[in-house]
Amino acid sequence: MTATMIYKPPLELSSNDASKINASVIWLHGLGADGYDFEPIVEKLDVPNVRFILPHAPEMPVTRNSGYIMPAWYDLYGLTGNSQEDENGIRTTQQYINSLIENEINRGIASERIVVAGFSQGGAIALHAGLRYPKKLAGILALSTYLPLKTKLATEAHLVNAGIPIFMAHGIFDDIISLDMCKLSLNTLQNNHFSVNWHEYNMAHSVCVEEINDIRTFLKQVLL
């Protein structure tokens, strides 16, 4: 990790004029992608009166990918249950996500009208940051991902979000982040008394139409 991360301004999408926006979704992409990766998905969701914030991860060397420099929310050493984790990188990105949430609050969106979402590495950050955020949030979308720093959740999760709705989804053919690894994270969440809306799909490390429909339903439940 470099001392200072450089973040490009996030992509912003909404289906309404700004005066009708009453909720926000901060949606983080996966390793090696950028904020534009989920633009087509957001357009398919067609959820009214919601501002979608799609940030871009900074460029950094990724250990698991032979030090290749790419967009990443934190360094990655491996994707097994006992792999070393880049705690400093995860916490640095947590602070950045907190700043994006605060920015939405400053624009007039109540914290309980804000969802933190993410896919793969972005989903790991969504879980990590959302469960620790000190103000009540609307929900967390965690897609094809896992819970990082899971041994620290019990002492670091903020009580104000103890009842936060969590949508967690995974492909049964995922060969990047295994279904078993995701279910370990699910068990950790449930053991810490979080209620998880769990979904499995016949897909690999990706997003499918059925999942998009379920995400739309979840967002309408927590925001509309």
Tokens 């950050």 label which residue? 125
Compute the distance between CA of residue 29 and CA of residue 53 in angstroms, rounded to an integer. Answer: 11
Residue 120 a catalytic site member: yes
Domain total of the chain:
1
- pTM (2 decimals)? 0.96
| Catalytically annotated residue among 14, 120, 144, 185 | 120
Q: What is the pLDDT of residue 135?
A: 98
pLDDT at position 78 is 83
Taking Cα atoms as reference points, which of 73, 169, 176, 55 lies closest to residue 121?
A: 73
> Which residues are CB-neighbours of 74 under 8 A, at least 6 positions away?
1, 86, 89, 90, 92, 93, 121, 125
Residue 1: inside a domain, yes or no? no
Neighbouring C-beta atoms of residue 108, cutoff 10 Å: 11
Catalytic site includes residue 178: no
Evaluate whether residue 79 is within a structural domain.
Answer: yes
* Annotation marks residue 174 as catalytic: yes
Kindly report the average pLDDT of the chain as a whole number.
94
Catalytic one of 29, 128, 170, 205: 205
Please check whether residue 110 lies inside any domain of the structure.
yes
Does 22 fall in a domain? yes
Q: Which residues of the chain have pLDDT under 70?
A: 1-3
Residue 180, C-beta contacts closer than 8 angstroms, at least 6 positions apart: none
pLDDT of residue 1: 42
Domain containing 217 equals 11-223
Catalytic residue among 75, 144, 174, 185: 174
- Residue 127 is assigned to a structural domain of this protein: yes
Q: Is residue 114 part of a domain?
A: yes
Residue 3 lies in a domain: no
Q: pLDDT (tens digit, 9 = 90+) per residue, 16-34?
A: 777 899 999 999 999 999 9
- The answer to whether residue 6 sits within a structural domain is no
CATH number of 190's domain: 3.40.50.1820
User: What does the pLDDT read at residue 19?
Assistant: 82
